[in-house]
């Protein structure tokens, strides 16, 4: 499976990003996640924005995942068709950042931040007010 | 005893090969023979030394992995020779194993330059588990260290040793650190990082002679003599190709392979640090000792060994490195001056692109490394970027900066072949 | 339009025809209506009888209800002006009968002036009904007549001395109005020319039907929704010459989903009927018996919210709200049939058999 | 909002219309509001790490309040007000100030919002009790199928050889599955996505949408069999194929929101795709003259009606849309006799993408009265079946639909309800070209906000819900086909209406 | 008041009319005497679609409307219709690429919303000629009436052209949004039309002969011709002269002016939001 954006209806509201953050917070509560939790959870979605355009990017869950091929520690692996990431094994060598052709792996505050597909039930897809995100197999 | 697939080696290329074979064929029998006792990740050695991971963490794939993938393993056993006529290999214990397809993934070995008075006990290399265990022990007693070679391995070792409290000097023949991949500006930043931590980097220099009293005394090219408790040599890795060479397989600087990872001999494939391969950007064949190149090479070999013809289409040098939390990613002809060079330096954030015919042939991104993989993709696609080249230098460059007409095409994944379903740790 | 009251009622209907054309007295129809006494409440009953005036069979027989005797002068001068009146008499009545405040009934046998025909008669009837206060033409056909009023049907029969008439076809009605005072003009049957209608039910589409008929020159004056039935039948069958089988499909058309499943030809015909005659779809619960010279038919609404049964015995053909009423009138029957909603049951004189065969072969209306 | 010094601007005396309240305990500074406001109300100030609002720009469209993930925003009419004055209302004062500052004719969007009597709310419906059974629409057949077009007075059949043959050749009629159509909203006035959503929904539900006068883009011509295509005074996008792919061709004479006023799509809305469809150069004003310049009389209308019938080989009903004005009944009679198959009448509360406010709010008559008098007039003349009547302008729910049909309409055009179903909040800023809901805009970033898949589904839901409600009401009346409701004014009673109003509506007072 | 369908109720069925048509190969000749509008177009359709005729000759035409309107088909075959007599209003309305030649005068609405094709009138024409015309060419030998070329429009390469040999009455080019109008003024020294180009916001009007500024709407500017304009005129005036037998060089040698809208957005400032 893969999450893809339909650019013709994506309006760049970034609500997917907001709820992605909440889904990856401790409290899972939007107010607490934003206002109280320190450090604030990191959204997994990549939002590209320039003055006139925007683009929402999720991990493509590639069939041939370069991030996984490049990973020197085995922290990125596939399980039943789904790319997974084991933070404990990761040494932050950034080989995955170097390899991911979509730039879907982020490196923030010394940590690799990457989409986990929310156990195959992606929050971003559910919350999109315009159905601009869809899961394709 | 005969196997359909025999793989010599158990590191990145070997694992890539096994995983590819299993994507195609769940039944084919596979034997993996390796001198190493365990399949661990050599790239993790510096992290182990620094204590970032435990010994357990070095394991790239656990033993269960081989059981689950139904791979027979003979680890800790050296291969004596290959007979390509009989399609057999002979192990050091005399055992003879037949193969239908053979992958040679014997890796590389540290290059040791000729130094007067140097003998094997005097220095450490920094490549294998044995190496690091030895260093770890030595570090406990040492107060100072000298590292020959300011490449990635040398500098990572230097960083690790500084963290351990040693007084570290690095000796480098070139006029700057990481000279093969970085340009002057980035080298300077890296040098500054090391200087700030008290590491002395001796450039345009090398060790001519080793002498000993309590400590080792090193005579340098500039005539200086320095004392040290610990000497490490990290000037590079060369292909470990003797086995192949002895079997009559063509070897230049490394084992010669084509895009399908086939050697000069039928049914014998090679991948990883032991080969030399065509660099799609530099347009020349050379050893490219990189983890991802090894994995991909092994993977491609795996497909071809299983009867699925497939090329390794894009290969070039690419590195991701970090020193004292300063991150650098480079690819291709990253420090070339030949072509149109655009760059932007802001504090320690640095971006440099080398363009030829409007296409990216190399880049250095340092500091905020962001999403450097996008540029590798642009290189691979040979995309004309002159239309938006100014935007490349923005920290937050993304697909949104690529004209819409081509953007969505780029965002489609081009699956050439093979779908990775599972890859366990 | 304002001041109108729609009558809601639940009633008993009955009709009988001798298909050989032999005439018989009112016994069967009165017996049958008596049998269905509980379907009425004594606020309305009535009959139409065909073939009762053989001596004046070429003249329009106008039965006129006069609420006051003064109004008779107006009616008669109107008739003199527009018709040749060959006979005028008060309809004999039995004032002993158990009826409620009976008005006076006169009958006139007339011939239109200047060789005018049916349409002329209709328009003059409408004129009397709308313009002459207190006078209503309750029937206007040739060789037939309507007898109706406020009371149980058998009382009405007694009032009009019905046993003295002989006809080949009779229809009867017993009424149960719920919200209007008994009014003699509001009783059934409703008639125009030789068309008579008795009706059991309530027409939910009354407003739609009425306004369409008004556009066609029919004005509903009798303060009851049954009137639209009579006028609709007159418009479709007399004026436009459509056979009963088609008229049935106008008044009670098949559902669209049923039409959608038909073959192309039938679909086209039914679609044409529904879209052209949409305002004449009679919606709501109803059964009617319609009679004219030579034939009589009964039909219900398309989802049959009100009952109907037909029966045959020898030359006799019956339609009734209840099978029991037929049996009360006639005893053993050769055949009893209960039609589907919207399916007409038809009794015709044998001499119209040819027409009957024709319609039976029209398979799309089977 | 940057509270910066302004230069070179006439100081405005206007009060803000809306108050933007941000609940501090809820705001997470995610800036969704900022990204969602096309009018630029919200902004983030980095120095103070606060969200700010420029209330002068707020139009009260509620987009931000709806989208705010924590529902931290409250947008409500601004409490600052002038001294209450029954004569000089706030709106009148504001309009006047706006004109004093600009010297312009005030434009507005959406329908008339003035409190003229809404007759729908003074008409009640009948239901069956005891004497006839109410019908349960969930289990028994209930038919809403409607045919639009001219009907014959009678059908003729031939009975040759035992077969029944229909002799009469029917006039072209178009079949719809519910008596509700989407009114004319042109591509240009509304966004491509909104336009496409209407087409998709009409096609899915089996009813019609109306292209308005902006043409029908080539790729949407596949929806032609569900399209009413307009031929208006501007004749934009009118080509022979456009006329021939349609179900109905409509001549637009007038519009309820602006009777007697032409259309004016400003040049900035004439984007590339619009210019392709309208067949005029990009950036040119698309002017629709007030009259059609080949129609100066009823005979000329007849000429155009038959020109269109000729152009479509007599295969399609031709509709004429007029605004409800004082002598609408006589006009409608003339239109019927001029050869129209359908007459659409748009009442004073009909919507618009842009109209001078003074016209919108003061010209025309309510549709209830118009449809009642047209229906009655056509019946009196005996020609009601010659045309189908479509009532438009100010229909708000399914009861209004039922009442309109009982007053005499064959079907109903809905515009504003369809827009509301898609998200419109009636902020009345359609004419600005900025629509935060992606409906009434040509800005590609804003129109993206309307996903046709979602919007068409919402429209279909609306049609489904209203149709089901209509069935409920019919069932309650004991009627199982919509044609038995048409003109059935017996089903209506007036409440709180004067004698003349009951007379025009042709209904009795309640209790009569 | 009885209700009539002006066309269907008074037109005979095609079968009855077929004797009125004479087909000779590619050509169909129709005697239009006493035929209604609909009957003529029924016969034209019959000739075109049943007999595959590409040429139609209509004789004895008097006032029948919409000639040529009903030959739209998705098949791009081009039909040519020659009319002898006096066709009625809306000649060639919505014309879909066919050619119509009139030997006689035409009435109002010639080429109404015409899509493509050509209409040539050997005579004069009435009001609203070329209204909302979108493509193709119309040539009128003599004068035209009111509101000629009203709301004519153009898109990309589809540019309608109207050439009038004589002059026009008032409101020529009102609301004009595109296209080209050429007024040759061949029969009088002065043009008498007023309000020329009022509301005009696209297209070009070329006028030969004298034009006073008060004759022109305020949205219009009067300009000199460029060499491109001359090239355009050469082609179309050349065709006009060939068709009607005039001397092109003589006509083109005279002075022309060009009327252009001053703005694509004439009413941009009138409204406030």
CATH, residue B331: 3.30.390.30
B204 & B265 share domain: no
Of A9, A12, A132, the CB nearest to D35: A12
Token readout for D16 is 């803000």
Does domain A1-58+115-137 bear CATH number 3.30.450? no
If you search the block for the tokens 């004569």, which residue do you land on? D87
Q: Check if D285 contacts E (Cβ < 8 Å).
A: yes
CA distance D52 to chain E (A): 24
B47 and A106 in contact by Cβ < 8 A?
Answer: no
CA nearest neighbour of C29 among C13, C10, C52: C13
Distance CA B413, CA A101 (A): 9
Of the residues B206, B233, B260, the one at which a domain ends: B233
Instruction: Determine, yes or no, domain membership for E96.
Output: no
E194 & E71 share domain: no
Mean pLDDT (whole number) for C186-205: 88
Contact residues for C221 (Cβ-Cβ < 8 A; gap 6+):
C126, C129, C130, C136, C227
Chain centroid offset of residue B168 CA:
24
Distance CA E129, CA E161 (A): 12
Distance CA A34, CA B381 (A): 40
Contact residues for C115 (Cβ-Cβ < 8 A; gap 6+):
none
C207 and D488 in contact by Cβ < 8 A?
Answer: yes
E166 & E61 share domain: no
Closest chain D residue to E158, measured at CA: D279
For B7, counting Cβ atoms within 10 Å of its Cβ (0-12 exposed, 13-18 middle, 19+ buried), the class is buried
Q: What is the distance in angstroms between the CA of the first residue and the CA of the last residue of chain B?
A: 29
CA distance D216 to chain A (A): 20
CA nearest neighbour of B335 among B200, B206, B174, B197: B174
E24 & E129 share domain: no
- Cis-peptide, bond into residue A39, ω within 30° of zero: yes
Q: Check if D71 contacts A (Cβ < 8 Å).
A: no
Output the average pLDDT for chain C: 88
Q: D146-509: what CATH class? A: alpha beta
Secondary structure letter of residue B237 according to DSSP = E
E47 & E182 share domain: no
Lowest mean pLDDT among B45-59, D14-28, E16-30: B45-59
CA distance C217 to chain D (A): 9
ipTM of the complex: 0.84
D294 and E109 in contact by Cβ < 8 A?
Answer: yes
E113 and D231 in contact by Cβ < 8 A?
Answer: yes
Q: Which fold has domain A61-103?
A: Alpha-Beta Plaits (3.30.70)
Instruction: Determine, yes or no, domain membership for E118.
Output: no
Maximum distance among all Cα pairs of chain E, rounded to whole angstroms:
64
Chain D positions in Cβ-Cβ contact with residue C179 (cut-off 8 Å): 131
User: To probe the interface with A, which of B368, B413, B416, B418 has the most A CB atoms within 10 Å?
Assistant: B413
- CATH number for domain D18-104, candidates 3.30.160.20, 3.50.50.60, 3.40.50.2300, 3.30.70.20: 3.30.70.20
Distance CA A31, CA A40 (A): 11
Instruction: Determine, yes or no, domain membership for E234.
Output: yes
Q: Is the pLDDT of residue B212 over 90?
A: no
Q: Check if D310 contacts C (Cβ < 8 Å).
A: no
Domain with CATH 3.30.70.20 in chain D: 18-104
Domain hosting residue E18, numbered range: 1-87
List the catalytic residue out of C7, C9, C10, C11. Answer: C11
- In chain A, positions 96-135, which contact chain D (CB-CB < 8 Å)? 129-132
Neighboring chains of D (3 or more beta-carbon pairs < 8 A): A, C, E
Q: How far are the Cα atoms of B204, D272, D282, D431, E115 from residue D276, in angstroms, in the given order?
A: 69, 6, 8, 21, 15
Distance CA E38, CA B366 (A): 81
How, if at all, do strands C316-320 and C195-201 pair? Answer: unpaired
Given this model, what pLDDT does residue B245 score? 95
In this structure, how many other beta carbons lie within 10 angstroms of the beta carbon of residue D127? 12
Q: Is the pLDDT of residue D5 over 60?
A: no
Q: Is the pLDDT of residue C180 over 90?
A: no
Given this model, what pLDDT does residue B413 score? 65
Q: How far are the Cα atoms of A16, A31, D43, D375 from residue D50, in angstroms, in the given order?
A: 22, 16, 9, 60
E147 & E259 share domain: yes
Output the average pLDDT for chain D: 93
pLDDT digits (tens, 9 = 90+) for B388-412: 998 999 988 999 999 888 888 888 7
Given this model, what pLDDT does residue D499 score? 96
Distance CA B288, CA B255 (A): 12
Distance CA E121, CA E99 (A): 11
Number of domain units in chain E: 2
Of E66, E115, E178, the CB nearest to D310: E66
Mean pLDDT (whole number) for C181-205: 86
D478 and C202 in contact by Cβ < 8 A?
Answer: yes
Chain D positions in Cβ-Cβ contact with residue C208 (cut-off 8 Å): 483-488
Distance CA B33, CA D468 (A): 74
B273 & B337 share domain: no
Given this model, what pLDDT does residue D88 score? 96
Of the residues B202, B233, B264, the one at which a domain ends: B233
Domain hosting residue B367, numbered range: 325-410
- Answer whether E61's CB lies under 8 Å from E35's CB: no
pLDDT band at D9, cuts 50/70/90?
low
Q: How far are the Cα atoms of C285, C291, C330, D303, D322 from residue C319, in angstroms, in the given order?
A: 18, 11, 12, 55, 52
CA nearest neighbour of B379 among B313, B331, B421, B309: B331
Torsion region of D271: left, alpha or beta (phi above 0 gives left; psi -120 to 50 gives alpha): beta
| Catalytic site includes residue C11 | yes
Chains A and D touch (3+ CB pairs under 8 A): yes
D132 and C275 in contact by Cβ < 8 A?
Answer: no
What strand order describes the sheet that includes B200-202? B123-124, B230-233, B144-148, B167-171, B200-202
- Answer whether B298's CB lies under 8 Å from B271's CB: yes
Distance CA C196, CA C146 (A): 8
pLDDT digits (tens, 9 = 90+) for C308-345: 999 999 999 999 999 989 999 998 899 999 898 889 99
CA distance B135 to chain A (A): 20
Torsion region of D237: left, alpha or beta (phi above 0 gives left; psi -120 to 50 gives alpha): left
B11 & B66 share domain: yes
E44 & E149 share domain: no
CA nearest neighbour of D13 among D102, D130, D122: D102
If you search the block for the tokens 């060639």, which residue do you land on? E92
pLDDT digits (tens, 9 = 90+) for D448-484: 999 999 999 999 999 999 999 999 999 999 999 999 9
The domain that contains B66 carries what CATH number? 3.50.50.60
Domain with CATH 3.30.70.20 in chain A: 61-103
Distance CA D429, CA D441 (A): 10
For E233-253, b/e burial (b = at least 16 CB within 10 A) is beebbebbbebbebeeeebbe
Distance CA B118, CA B233 (A): 11
pLDDT band at D7, cuts 50/70/90?
low
Domain boundaries, chain C: 12-365
- In chain A, positions 11-70, which contact chain D (CB-CB < 8 Å)? 11-15, 18-19, 30-31, 34-35
B99 & B13 share domain: yes
Mean pLDDT (whole number) for B355-359: 95
Distance CA C307, CA A135 (A): 59
pLDDT digits (tens, 9 = 90+) for B80-110: 999 999 999 999 999 999 999 999 999 999 9
Of D99, D240, D381, the CB nearest to E94: D240
User: To probe the interface with E, which of D10, D38, D293 has the most E CB atoms within 10 Å?
Assistant: D293
The phi and psi torsions of E191 (rounded to 5 degrees) equal -90, 140
User: To probe the interface with D, which of C5, C175, C249, C276 has the most D CB atoms within 10 Å?
Assistant: C276
C201 and D132 in contact by Cβ < 8 A?
Answer: yes
Query: Could you tell me where the DSSP H helices lie in D288-443?
Result: 298-311, 328-337, 357-360, 367-380, 398-407, 416-422
D294 and E5 in contact by Cβ < 8 A?
Answer: no
- Answer whether D310's CB lies under 8 Å from E93's CB: yes
CB pairs under 8 A between A and B: 154
pLDDT digits (tens, 9 = 90+) for D306-363: 999 999 999 999 999 999 999 999 999 999 999 999 999 999 999 999 899 999 999 9
Number of domain units in chain B: 3
Q: How far are the Cα atoms of C234, D156, D185, E48 from residue C241, in angstroms, in the given order?
A: 9, 9, 46, 40
Distance CA D156, CA D51 (A): 75
Of the residues B305, B333, B364, the one at which a domain ends: B305
| Domain covering C12-365 in this structure, CATH number | 3.60.20.10
The DSSP bridge partners found for residue B228 are B216
E79 & E34 share domain: yes
Higher pLDDT, D433 or D249: D249
- Cis-peptide, bond into residue D209, ω within 30° of zero: no
D164 and C269 in contact by Cβ < 8 A?
Answer: yes
pLDDT digits (tens, 9 = 90+) for E88-114: 999 999 999 999 999 999 999 999 999
Given this model, what pLDDT does residue D223 score? 97
Q: Is the pLDDT of residue C181 over 60?
A: no
Residues B126, B169, B235, B321: is their CA dihedral positive or negative?
positive
A30 and D28 in contact by Cβ < 8 A?
Answer: yes
Token readout for E220 is 């219009």
Number of Cα atoms under 13 Å in the Cβ half of residue B278: 12
Distance CA B28, CA D155 (A): 81
pLDDT digits (tens, 9 = 90+) for C113-147: 988 889 999 999 989 998 999 999 999 999 999 99
Contact residues for D28 (Cβ-Cβ < 8 A; gap 6+):
A18, A30, A31, A34, A35, D69, D70, D72
Q: Check if A92 contacts D (Cβ < 8 Å).
A: no
């Amino acid at each position: 499976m893969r999450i893809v954006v339909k650019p013709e209806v994506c309006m760049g509201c970034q609500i997917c990003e907001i709820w992605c953050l909440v889904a990856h917070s401790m409290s899972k509560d939007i107010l607490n996640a934003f206002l109280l939790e320190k450090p604030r959870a990191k959204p997994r979605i990549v939002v590209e924005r320039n003055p006139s355009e925007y683009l929402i990017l999720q991990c493509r869950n590639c069939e041939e995942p370069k991030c996984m091929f490049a990973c020197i520690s085995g922290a990125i692996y596939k399980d039943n068709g789904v790319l997974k990431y084991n933070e404990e094994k990761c040494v932050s060598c950034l080989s995955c950042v170097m390899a991911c052709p979509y730039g879907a792996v982020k490196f923030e505050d010394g940590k690799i931040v990457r989409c986990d597909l929310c156990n195959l039930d992606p929050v971003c897809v559910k919350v999109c007010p315009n159905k601009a995100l869809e899961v394709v197999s | 005893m005969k196997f359909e697939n025999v793989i010599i080696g158990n590191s990145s290329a070997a694992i890539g090969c096994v995983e590819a074979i299993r994507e195609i064929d769940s039944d084919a029998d596979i034997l993996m023979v390796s001198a190493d006792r365990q399949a661990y990740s050599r790239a993790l050695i510096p992290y182990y030394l620094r204590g970032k991971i435990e010994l357990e963490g070095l394991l790239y794939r656990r033993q269960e992995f081989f059981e689950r993938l139904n791979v027979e393993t003979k680890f800790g056993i050296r291969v004596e020779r290959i007979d390509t006529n009989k399609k057999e290999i002979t192990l050091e214990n005399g055992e003879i194993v037949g193969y239908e397809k053979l992958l040679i993934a014997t890796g590389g070995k540290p290059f040791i330059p000729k130094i007067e008075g140097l003998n094997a006990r005097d220095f450490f290399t920094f490549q294998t588990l044995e190496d690091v265990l030895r260093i770890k022990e030595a570090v406990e007693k040492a107060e100072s260290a000298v590292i020959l070679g300011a490449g990635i391995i040398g500098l990572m070792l230097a960083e690790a040793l500084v963290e351990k409290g040693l007084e570290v000097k690095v000796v480098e023949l070139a006029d700057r650190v990481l000279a093969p991949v970085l340009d002057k500006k980035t080298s300077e930043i890296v040098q500054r990082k090391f200087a700030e931590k008290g590491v002395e980097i001796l450039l345009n220099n090398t060790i001519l002679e080793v002498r000993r009293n309590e400590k080792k005394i090193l005579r340098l090219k500039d005539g200086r003599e320095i004392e040290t408790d610990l000497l490490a040599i990290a000037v590079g890795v060369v292909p470990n190709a003797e086995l192949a060479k002895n079997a009559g397989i063509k070897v230049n600087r490394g084992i010669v392979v084509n895009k399908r990872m086939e050697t000069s001999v039928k049914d014998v494939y090679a991948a990883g640090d032991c080969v030399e391969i065509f660099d799609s950007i530099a347009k020349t064949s050379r050893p490219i000792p990189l983890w991802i190149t090894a994995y991909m090479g092994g993977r491609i070999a795996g497909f071809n060994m299983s009867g699925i013809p497939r090329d390794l289409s894009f290969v070039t040098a690419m590195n991701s490195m970090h020193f004292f939390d300063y991150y650098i990613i480079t690819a291709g002809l990253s420090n070339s001056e030949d072509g149109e060079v655009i760059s932007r330096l802001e504090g320690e954030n640095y971006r440099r692109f080398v363009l030829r015919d409007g296409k990216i042939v190399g880049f250095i991104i340092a500091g905020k490394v962001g999403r450097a993989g996008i540029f590798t993709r642009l290189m691979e696609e040979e995309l004309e970027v002159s239309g938006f080249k100014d935007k490349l230098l923005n920290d937050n460059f993304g697909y949104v900066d690529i004209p819409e007409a081509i953007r969505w095409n780029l965002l489609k994944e081009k699956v050439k072949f093979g779908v990775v379903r599972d890859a366990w740790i | 339009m304002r001041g109108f009251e729609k009558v809601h009622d639940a009633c008993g209907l009955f009709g009988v025809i001798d298909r050989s054309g032999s005439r018989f007295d009112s016994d069967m129809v009165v017996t049958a209506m008596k049998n269905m006494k509980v379907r009425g409440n004594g606020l309305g009953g009535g009959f139409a009888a065909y073939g009762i005036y053989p001596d004046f069979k070429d003249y329009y027989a106008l039965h006129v209800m006069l609420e006051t005797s003064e109004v008779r002068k107006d009616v008669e001068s109107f008739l003199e002006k527009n018709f040749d009146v060959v006979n005028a008499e008060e309809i004999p009545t039995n004032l002993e009968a158990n009826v409620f405040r009976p008005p006076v009934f006169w009958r006139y046998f007339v011939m239109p002036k200047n060789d005018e025909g049916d349409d002329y008669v209709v328009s003059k009837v409408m004129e009397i009904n709308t313009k002459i206060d207190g006078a209503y033409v309750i029937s206007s056909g040739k060789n037939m007549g309507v007898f109706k009023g406020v009371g149980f049907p058998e009382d009405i029969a007694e009032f009009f001395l019905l046993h003295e008439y002989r006809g080949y076809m009779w229809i009867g009605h017993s009424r149960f109005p719920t919200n209007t005072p008994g009014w003699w003009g509001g009783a059934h049957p409703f008639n125009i020319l030789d068309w008579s209608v008795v009706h059991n039910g309530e027409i939910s589409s009354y407003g739609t039907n009425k306004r369409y008929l008004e556009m066609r020159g029919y004005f509903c004056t009798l303060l009851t929704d049954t009137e639209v039935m009579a006028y609709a039948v007159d418009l479709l069958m007399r004026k436009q010459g459509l056979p009963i089988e088609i008229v049935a499909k106008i008044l009670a058309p098949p559902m669209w989903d049923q039409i959608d499943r038909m073959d192309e030809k039938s679909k086209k015909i039914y679609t044409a009927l529904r879209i052209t005659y949409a305002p004449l779809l009679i919606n709501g619960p109803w059964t009617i018996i319609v009679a004219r010279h030579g034939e009589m038919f009964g039909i219900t609404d398309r989802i049959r919210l009100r009952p109907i049964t037909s029966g045959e015995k020898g030359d006799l053909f019956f339609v009734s709200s209840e099978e029991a009423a037929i049996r009360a009138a006639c005893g053993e029957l050769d055949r009893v049939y209960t039609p589907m909603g919207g399916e007409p049951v038809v009794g015709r004189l044998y001499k119209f058999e040819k027409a009957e065969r024709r319609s039976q072969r029209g398979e799309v209306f089977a | 909002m940057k509270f910066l010094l302004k230069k070179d601007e006439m100081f405005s005396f206007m009060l803000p219309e809306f108050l933007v309240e941000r609940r501090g305990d809820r705001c997470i500074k995610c800036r969704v509001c900022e990204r969602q406001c096309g009018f630029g109300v919200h902004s983030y100030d980095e120095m103070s790490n606060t969200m700010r609002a420029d209330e002068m720009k707020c139009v009260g469209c509620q987009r931000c309040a709806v989208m705010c993930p924590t529902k931290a925003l409250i947008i409500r009419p601004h409490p600052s007000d002038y001294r209450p004055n029954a004569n000089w209302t706030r709106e009148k004062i504001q309009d006047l100030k706006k004109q004093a500052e600009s010297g312009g004719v005030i434009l507005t969007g959406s329908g008339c919002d003035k409190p003229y009597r809404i007759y729908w709310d003074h008409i009640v419906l009948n239901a069956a009790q005891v004497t006839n059974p109410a019908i349960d629409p969930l289990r028994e057949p209930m038919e809403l199928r409607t045919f639009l077009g001219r009907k014959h007075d009678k059908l003729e059949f031939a009975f040759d050889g035992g077969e029944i043959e229909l002799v009469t050749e029917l006039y072209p009629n178009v079949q719809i599955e519910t008596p509700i159509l989407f009114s004319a909203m042109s591509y240009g006035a509304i966004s491509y996505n909104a336009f496409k959503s209407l087409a998709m929904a009409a096609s899915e539900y089996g009813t019609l949408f109306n292209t308005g006068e902006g043409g029908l883009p080539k790729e949407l011509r596949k929806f032609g069999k569900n399209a009413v295509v307009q031929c208006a005074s501007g004749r934009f996008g009118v080509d022979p194929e456009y006329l021939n792919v349609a179900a109905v061709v409509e001549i637009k004479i007038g519009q309820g929101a602006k009777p007697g006023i032409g259309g004016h799509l400003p040049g900035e809305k004439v984007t590339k795709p619009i210019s392709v469809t309208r067949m005029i150069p990009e950036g040119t004003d698309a002017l629709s003259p007030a009259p059609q310049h080949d129609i100066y009389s009823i005979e000329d209308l007849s000429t155009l009606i038959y020109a269109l019938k000729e152009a479509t080989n007599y295969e399609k009903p031709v509709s004429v849309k007029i605004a409800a004005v004082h002598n609408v009944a006589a006009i409608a009679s003339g239109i019927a006799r001029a050869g129209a198959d359908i007459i659409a009448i748009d009442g004073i509360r009909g919507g618009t993408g842009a109209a001078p406010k003074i016209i919108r709010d003061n010209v025309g008559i309510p549709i209830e009265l118009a449809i009642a008098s047209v229906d009655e007039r056509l019946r009196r003349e005996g020609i009601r079946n010659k045309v189908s009547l479509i009532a438009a302008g100010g229909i708000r729910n399914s009861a209004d639909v039922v009442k309109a049909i009982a007053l005499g309409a064959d079907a109903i055009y809905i515009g504003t309800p369809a827009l509301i179903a898609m998200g419109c909040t009636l902020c009345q800023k359609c004419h600005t070209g900025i629509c935060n809901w992606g409906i009434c805009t040509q800005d590609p970033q804003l129109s993206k906000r309307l996903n046709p898949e979602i919007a068409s589904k919402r429209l279909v839901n609306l049609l489904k819900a209203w149709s089901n409600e209509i069935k409920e009401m019919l069932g309650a009346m004991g009627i199982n086909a919509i044609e038995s409701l048409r003109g059935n004014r017996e089903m209506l009673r007036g409440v709180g209406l004067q004698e003349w109003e009951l007379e025009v509506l042709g209904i009795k007072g309640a209790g009569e | 008041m009885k209700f009539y369908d002006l066309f269907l109720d008074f037109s005979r069925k095609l079968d009855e009319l077929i004797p009125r048509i004479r087909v000779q190969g590619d050509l169909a000749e129709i005697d239009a005497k006493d035929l209604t509008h609909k009957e003529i177009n029924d016969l034209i359709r019959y000739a075109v679609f049943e007999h595959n005729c590409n040429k139609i000759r209509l004789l004895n035409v008097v006032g029948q409307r919409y000639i040529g309107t009903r030959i739209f088909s998705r098949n791009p075959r081009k039909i040519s219709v020659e009319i002898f007599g006096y066709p009625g209003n809306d000649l060639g309305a919505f014309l879909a690429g066919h050619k119509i030649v009139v030997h006689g005068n035409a009435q109002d609405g010639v080429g109404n919303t015409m899509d493509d094709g050509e209409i040539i009138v050997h005579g004069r024409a009435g009001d609203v000629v070329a209204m909302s015309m979108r493509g193709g060419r119309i040539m009128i030998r003599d004068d035209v009436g009111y509101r000629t070329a009203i709301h004519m429009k153009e898109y990309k390469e589809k540019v309608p052209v109207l050439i009038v040999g004589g002059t026009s009455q008032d409101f020529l080019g009102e609301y004009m949004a595109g296209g080209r109008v050429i007024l040759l003024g061949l029969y009088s020294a002065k043009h008498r039309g007023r309000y020329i180009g009022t509301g005009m916001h696209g297209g070009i009007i070329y006028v030969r002969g004298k034009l006073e500024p008060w004759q022109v709407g305020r949205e219009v500017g009067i300009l000199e011709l460029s060499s491109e304009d001359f090239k355009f005129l050469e082609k179309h005036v050349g065709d006009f002269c060939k068709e009607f037998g005039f001397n092109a060089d003589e006509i083109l040698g005279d002075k022309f002016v060009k009327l252009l809208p001053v703005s694509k957005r004439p009413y941009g400032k009138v409204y406030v939001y």
